[in-house]
Amino acid sequence: MDPQFKIAHREAIIGVILAVLHFAWWFGFAYGLGSQPVERYRYIWGFPEWFFYSCIVGFLLIAVTVTLLAKFVLKEVPLDDEEVTE
């Protein structure tokens, strides 16, 4: 198998795992904390606690994770047809 496809396959799996983890984070906080009556909501910076953790903290966490993955884990792969020799 071409090394480019091995790298692309590994990075696609990383992307899917990251998307599933992000959805689980969002779903857990949105429906875990958000399922109680509105009268029992607690607020952080004027946002309901469930919204703050699921959307604001979740976004920041995923943004930092994607940045670190792109910097340290993912590799640049040439997409032209020429053979690359190292």
State pLDDT tens for residues 14-26.
999 999 999 999 9
Is there a domain that residue 79 lies in? no
State pLDDT tens for residues 38-63.
898 899 999 999 999 999 999 999 99
* Tally of domains within the chain: 1
Is there a domain that residue 41 lies in? yes
Torsion of CA 23, 24, 28, 34, to 10 degrees: 10
Is there a domain that residue 85 lies in? no
pLDDT at 56: 95
d(CA 67, CA 76): 14
Domain range holding 49?
3-72
Is there a domain that residue 60 lies in? yes
Mean pLDDT of the residues in the chain: 89
